[in-house]
Every structure is written in C-alpha cells, then in structure tokens.
C-alpha cells in the first residue's frame, strides 16, 4: 500500500540497519580488545568460567614464585655450607698436623690458635646466615613453602661449631670486681683518713706472688688509674683494670687471675686494706670455669680433634645433601606449576579470546549488510515522494 503517514519500508530498513550496525560494533570491539567476551552480556557462563580460571592462573604463578624464592633461600644456605666445608677441611689438616709428635708446644699453640679462629668463624657464619630473617644454619624451626595446593617443608639445622663438635677449649679467667664506682677513671678511688692504719694492699693470687703495696700515697688518696698501674707493676702482669659499667656509667677496680681455668683462682685478703678495698667489697663476676671442646696443644688432644672434625664433616655433608634434594624438589614443583598455569591459560584463551579469522568474516558480512541497509533506507525514504506525485 502506498501511504504518506507511515513509511513502513523505511522503518523495516532502519531496524535491519540497526542490527547490522550493532553486530559490526561488537566485531570491532572484539577485534580491538582481542577478547570474545568483553562483558557479561557477551557470554555470562563463559565469563564466570574465565574469571575462575584467571584466579587459578594467578595463584599458580605466585606458587611458582614461592618455589623460586624457596630455591633462592636454600642456595643461600648451601653457599654458606660451602664455606664451612672449606673451613672444616683446613681444620682437619691442622688436627692431622698437630697430632704428630714432631712439633714443639709453641708450634702446637699456633696451630691451636688458628683452629680456634676457624671454629669461631664457623659459628659466626651459622649465626649470620639468614634469608628474610629465617635462620638457615642456626635454627631447627621448620620453614613451610606453599606451592599451590600443597606445601614443601624445609627444616634447617644448627651448624655452629659447638653443634658440629669442633668448638675449642676456652677456659674463663676468674674475675672479681669492686662494688664501688667513680664517674671517671682519673677520679680518686681510695681515700685514707689521717692516722688510719688501713693504708696498705695485700692481694694474694693463687700460684703467683702476693701483691703488696706498703703505702697508697703520702696524701692518702689515689685515682683508679694510678691504683691499676700500681697493682700491675707489683703483680708483673695485667692483673687490674678500670672496668666500665654501662648500666651505671661508672668505673670500678677489676682484678683478674693470671691464668684461665678452674685451677687459676684469685683470693683477696684483708691485711690492712682500706675498707673500700676489703675482700667483702669485691664481687666474683667470672668463676674461672674450664672450657670444653677440642685442644690441639697436645698430640692426644689433636687426635681427638681429628675424629671430631671427621664427624663434623659427615654431619655437614648430610645437611648439605638435604639442601640439594630440597632444591631439586622445589625446581620440580616450580616446573609443574608453570605447566599447569600454561594449560589453564590455553583453556582460558579458548573460552575468552576472539577467533580473529571468524570474527573478520563476520565483520565483513556485517559491513556489507550495513551498506545494503543504508542503501535500502535511502530508497525507502523516497517512497512517499511517489505518493505526492499522485496528489499533484
């Protein structure tokens, strides 16, 4: 029917043109983004599945990084163990050298000193080796590495010299500290009243000659530094010190035995000592206990040290082997996690990514339809003009 009030052909052409244009717009969006699903309206179920897969992929990638961090942590421990290995080799060499009878006691002392320094370095390495504050050679606290749906537990071991059994004999020196303190070591420490008979010192060091100071000075006063010097001159060795107390910020007289160990005792007697230096005014701060550990100063001690080092090397190798297979396990876990993430990415791609060839074909079709729709809409819009001619 030819009519001028309603142009039904134009409405129809416009409707089809709109559909073609919407389809063309969707194709452009997909090709521009590379995604088939750009919103829930594109594929609601597919969007839900894709987001779950993306979350799983992110988790797997972080789990792989966790495994890599675990490997780095174990490599830190293994590097430190490598240095301890070198030290133990040298200690075994020293023990073997000291075990033979062809060296003098002075030469064995030199060997023992080097052995002691190496022992101390093993402990220092063990105490200072950590990864993000996780102690690796000075703790037995398990470290759990989360790798996706499971965990791998790494249990450190203590690798200090004492635990390995290669610590050295370190005997303490018996020490007594006076209870009185002064702000400066140059301040007067002993002051004697005029006419007092307490103007002498008598310190008996076991195994050594007594320290006798007949007079503490004509003026009845002596500074801490002068007192220390006077005692040391009389004793013939560094028997006295001006010890600093950080808690109170004061200096006090400190007396030490000449030799270390339980047999080197220090006894203070009260023969005419000033009250401030009476025996009761000294506190034993170190008891002179014997040390424990390896001693290369004798052939028998060196032989025992040799056996101890051999045992330490076995313990060290056992732990170092653990570090190795833990690293291998973490590397395998990292590889599997990366493969899982790759496969999930492939699944996510099949759901979400646009098929460029198919979408280009659809876009071409939609372009043709849109162009045809425009042409037909143009034609439909001319139809009312035919009715107007009939009215003329």
Q: With respect to residue 150, please indicate whether it lies within any of the assigned structural domains.
A: yes
Question: Based on the structure, what is the number of domains in the chain?
Answer: 2
Exposed (0-12), middle (13-18) or buried (19+): which is 61, by Cβ within 10 Å? middle
pLDDT of the residue at 272: 67
pLDDT by residue (tens digit) across 29-51? 777 777 777 767 777 887 888 88
Bridge partner list, 52: none
> Structural domain of residue 184, as residue ranges?
175-286
Residues 165 and 179 in one domain: no
- Decide if 152 contacts 330 (C-beta within 8 A): yes
pLDDT of the residue at 85: 95
pLDDT by residue (tens digit) across 209-236? 577 766 665 566 789 998 899 888 888 8
Residue whose pair of structure tokens reads 């690293």 in the numeric block: 327
pLDDT by residue (tens digit) across 63-88? 999 999 999 999 999 999 999 999 99
Distance CA 308, CA 341 (A): 49
SS3 assignment, position 240? strand
The CATH number that applies at residue 313 is 1.20.1330.10
Residues 58 and 164 in one domain: yes
Distance CA 63, CA 146 (A): 7
Distance CA 107, CA 90 (A): 17
pLDDT of the residue at 195: 57
- Among 245, 265, 286, give the residue marking a domain's end: 286
pLDDT by residue (tens digit) across 181-190? 999 999 998 8
Confidence class for position 270, pLDDT limits 50, 70, 90: low
Residues 261 and 180 in one domain: yes
Residues 164 and 240 in one domain: no
Q: What average pLDDT does the structure give for the chain?
A: 85
Confidence class for position 22, pLDDT limits 50, 70, 90: confident
Both tokens of residue 184? 């400066």
What is the mean pLDDT of the segment spanning 353-359? 75
Contacting residues for 165 by C-beta, under 8 A, at least 6 apart: 294, 308, 311, 312
Q: With respect to residue 354, please indicate whether it lies within any of the assigned structural domains.
A: no
CA dihedral sign, ordered 215, 221, 227, 233: negative
Distance CA 116, CA 296 (A): 9
Residue whose pair of structure tokens reads 């105490």 in the numeric block: 127
- Residue 159 pLDDT > 90: yes
Confidence class for position 198, pLDDT limits 50, 70, 90: low
- Decide if 69 contacts 147 (C-beta within 8 A): no
pLDDT of the residue at 207: 56
Least Cα distance to 257 among 233, 237, 227, 277 occurs for 237
SS3 assignment, position 366? helix
pLDDT of the residue at 5: 66
SS3 assignment, position 258? coil
Distance of CA 326 to the CA centre of its chain: 18
- Decide if 293 contacts 170 (C-beta within 8 A): yes
The proportion of the chain whose per-residue pLDDT surpasses 90, expressed as a percent, equals 44
Q: With respect to residue 144, please indicate whether it lies within any of the assigned structural domains.
A: yes
Bridge partner list, 153: 144
Residues 66 and 154 in one domain: yes
Residues 138 and 279 in one domain: no
Please give the C-alpha separations between residue 168 and each of 118, 137, 173, 289, in angstroms, as whole numbers.
Answer: 10, 19, 16, 14
What is the mean pLDDT of the segment spanning 299-319? 93
- Among 340, 360, 378, give the residue marking a domain's end: 340
Both tokens of residue 95? 């023990």
pLDDT of the residue at 7: 74
Distance of CA 381 to the CA centre of its chain: 80
What is the mean pLDDT of the segment spanning 155-172? 90
Confidence class for position 257, pLDDT limits 50, 70, 90: confident
CA dihedral sign, ordered 316, 310, 261, 98: negative
Q: With respect to residue 219, please indicate whether it lies within any of the assigned structural domains.
A: yes
pLDDT of the residue at 271: 65
pLDDT of the residue at 151: 92
């Amino acid at each position: 029917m030819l009519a001028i009030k309603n142009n039904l052909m134009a409405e129809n052409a416009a409707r089809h043109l709109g559909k073609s244009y919407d389809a063309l717009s969707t194709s452009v969006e997909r090709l521009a983004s590379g995604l088939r699903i750009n919103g829930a309206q594109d594929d609601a179920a597919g969007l839900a599945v894709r987001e779950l897969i993306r979350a799983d992929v992110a988790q797997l990638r972080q789990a792989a990084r966790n495994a890599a961090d675990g490997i780095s942590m174990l490599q830190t421990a293994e590097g430190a163990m490598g240095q301890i290995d070198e030290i133990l080799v040298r200690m075994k060499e020293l023990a073997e050298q000291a075990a033979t009878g062809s060296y003098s006691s002075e030469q064995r002392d030199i060997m023992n000193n080097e052995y002691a320094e190496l022992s101390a370095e093993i402990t220092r390495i063990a105490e200072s080796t950590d990864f993000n504050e996780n102690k690796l050679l000075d703790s037995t606290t398990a470290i759990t590495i989360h790798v996706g749906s499971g965990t791998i537990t790494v249990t450190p071991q203590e690798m200090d010299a004492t635990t390995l059994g290669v610590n050295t004999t370190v005997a303490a020196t018996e020490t007594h500290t006076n209870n009185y303190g002064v702000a400066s070591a140059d301040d007067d420490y002993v002051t004697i009243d005029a006419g007092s008979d307490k103007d002498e010192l008598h310190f008996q060091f076991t195994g050594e000659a007594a320290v006798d100071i007949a007079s503490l000075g004509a003026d009845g006063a002596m500074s801490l530094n002068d007192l220390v010097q006077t005692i040391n001159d009389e004793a013939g060795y560094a028997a006295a010190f001006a010890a600093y107390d950080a808690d109170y910020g004061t200096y006090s007289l400190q007396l030490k035995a000449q030799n270390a160990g339980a047999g080197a005792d220090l006894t203070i007697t009260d023969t005419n000592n000033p009250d401030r230096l009476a025996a009761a005014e000294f506190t034993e701060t170190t008891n002179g206990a014997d040390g424990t550990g390896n001693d290369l100063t004798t052939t028998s001690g060196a032989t025992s040290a040799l056996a101890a080092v051999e045992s330490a090397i076995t313990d060290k190798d056992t732990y170092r082997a653990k570090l190795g297979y833990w690293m291998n396990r973490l590397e395998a876990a990292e590889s599997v996690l990366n493969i899982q993430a790759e496969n999930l990415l492939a699944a996510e791609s099949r759901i979400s990514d646009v098929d460029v060839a198919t979408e280009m074909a659809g876009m071409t079709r939609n372009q043709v339809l849109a162009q045809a729709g425009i042409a037909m809409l143009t034609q439909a819009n001319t139809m009312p003009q035919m009715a107007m001619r009939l009215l003329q």
